[in-house]
Structure 1
Amino acid sequence: MRQDTVGRGALDYRQCNYGLSRLAFRGPRHPLAGRYAAFVGGTETFGKFMQEPLPAIAERLSGVSCANFGCVNAGIGAFADDAAVLAACHDAVLTVIEVTGAHNISNRFYKVHPRRNDRFLKATPLLREIYDEVDFADFTFTRHLLSVLCHISPTRFRLVRRELRRVWLDRMRDFIAELPAPPVLLWYRDTTDVGGAGPDPLLVTDALMAEIAPLAAGIVRVDVTDRARADGQFRMVFGPAERAAAAEMLGPAIHETAARALVPILAQAALRGRPAA
């Protein structure tokens, strides 16, 4: 079951903050001056177990400065409420948003931790009414919760799934509405079901992406295959206790594919400069 944390491992992520943000980002802190692109996302953008995270790869290949606003376990809701991230995106020539799952966002059924969005805090009275046989004190992580709820009653789970997708769309729209220009969406489209709740990004479907697509400048879709995932594993950096967690990450090969697809988009954005406010 995929539950990401950043602890004492083989890599020093040099975590940092920007402005008054309480979110912890991959360091070192990037200078937010000149023509730069802002990469906003979750664990994959952060680059857990990767010596060179996606924004750094994209910067190396394109020559365009790329700031990493990836935050471990973050859902889109974490950024939609963060003034420092929004300010950085406002001054960027381009914002690239990693499409994250719909499960790590507070909604009508449950609340998540404001910074560690994969942490389940509490069920609302509505969820307790629908699943009155469940002891919600048993859950710490949102993915585990959803896996169990789906197993108990796929029929009742449809209500939860519908709500999570609705909130995901609303929060994506909220965030994009704050940007001075349409962003590029980076969609790692996986087909591997991790933990029984579905593939990543969790609960995000082709139909859901079609709904949000008109608000974006474009969608870079990277199909995650087992072979591509395996090809990158040997270049990941992790300690013995982190091996299982590292096996569930996408790895350098997939991130390099994404970075190459972004190179012409970044180059064009850098030539164009900052969008008018």
Structure 2
Amino acid sequence: MSYQIPGTGLPAAQLCRYGVSRLQVRGPRRDLDRPYFAFLGGAETFGRFVETPFAALVEEALDLPCVNLGCINAGLDAFLHDVEIMRIARAAQAVVIQLPAAHTLSNRFYRVHPRRNDRFVAASSMLKTLYPEVDFTDFHFVRHMLGSLRRCSDRRFAVVQLELEQAWIARMRLTLRTLDCPTVALWLQYRDSSDGALPGEEPMFVTSDMVRALGPQAEHVLHVTVSRSAEAGDLGDMIGGALNAPAAAHLPGPSAHRQVAAKLTEVLRPFA
């Protein structure tokens, strides 16, 4: 018997956990006793509402198992704090790490949930001092909180954004050092609608200057610009039904995954 996991569009058999990891990643489970590629990332790497995500397409093209460690709502904090996931990634022939949005990291201004990095947990005394008029108990999601701060003051928000950028660079460098294996940094970029207070570019708050600041540790950076499923005419090919269609419209669809897979296949071929 199989049932659909809410918010993924997938039956339970298409999700899995490895070892003692607490992260639910895209399945089916792959054999880790033979050479493989590993893929770290959020909803796009997971392939939310997509039947065949780009990791599976690369597997077909290169005939090498691709372990999809993509996890919905996960950022760098979730992966770095999961010993099992990092162990699996370090043992790979090569790792593809999707560059995450900068707002999904705990920093000096606020903390995010350790696994669901889109969830706002608490503001620091620094942020409360910067925004004394804001009641932070009103917020459950980081994006909602940041949009409200931006509307309060562009000048003060610039201080917050600088912290996000610096935290992202530091955490990405730590992640790349921890992986210590051939790594492809996938900068998967697309336009998404926002409330007008925040950038409409995904991954949010990530710039070319920040990627360059990663230095030689990010030896292989693959920048791919795609369209959302609604813009690409892919919405009808997304899985999950009408109930999930509004959420699916904001994510890359099957054609975008094919585009990413084609480029990744060429980059990863020397490591196969």
Q: Which runs of 5+ in 1 are unaligned?
A: 1-5, 271-277
Partner residue of 1:27? 27
C-alpha contact (below 8 Å) 2:184/2:221 kept by paired residues:
yes
Task: List aligned pairs for 1:81-96, cutoff 5 A.
Answer: 81-96=81-96
TM-score (norm. length: structure 2): 0.92
Give the residue type in structure 1 aligned to 2:214: I
- Partner of residue 6, structure 2: 7
CA 163–192 in structure 1, closer or farther in 2 if over 3 Å, else same: same
Q: Taking structure 1 as reference, are residues 9 and 218 closer, same or farther at Cα in structure 2, changes over 3 Å only? A: closer
Bigger mean CA offset, 25-34 vs 92-101: 25-34
Aligned 1:116-195 pairs, distance under 5 A: 116-195=116-195
RMSD: 1.8
Which residue in 1 is equivalent to 2:246?
244
State the one-letter code of the partner of 1:23: L
Q: Does residue 1:48 correspond to 2:48, yes or no?
A: yes
Q: Which amino acid aligns with 1:49?
A: F
Q: Structure 2: where are the runs of 5+ without partners?
A: none
Greater relative contact order (CA < 8 Å, ≥ 6 in sequence): 1
How far apart, CA to CA, are the structure 2 residues paired with 1:150 and 1:73?
Answer: 22
**TM-score normalised to structure 1 length:** 0.90
Q: Distance in 1 between matches of 2:249 and 2:267?
A: 30
Residue 30 of structure 2 aligns with an amino acid whose one-letter code is H
1:57 aligns to what?
A: 57
Q: Which amino acid in structure 2 is aligned with residue 139 of structure 1?
A: F
Query: CA contact under 8 A between 1:103 and 1:142: conserved in structure 2?
Result: yes
Q: Secondary structure at the match of 2:68?
A: strand
Partners of 1:246 and 1:228 in 2: CA distance = 8
Q: Secondary structure at the match of 1:77?
A: helix
Is the 2:42–2:98 Cα contact (8 Å) retained in structure 1? Answer: yes
Residue equivalent to 2:204: 202
Give aligned-pair identity as a percent. 40
Give the aligned partner of residue 3 of structure 1.
none
Distance verdict in 2 for CA 1:9–1:170, change over 3 Å: closer
Q: How does 1:102-117 map to 2 (within 5 A)?
A: 102-117=102-117
Q: Distance between the aligned counterparts of 2:210 and 2:168, measured in 1?
A: 9
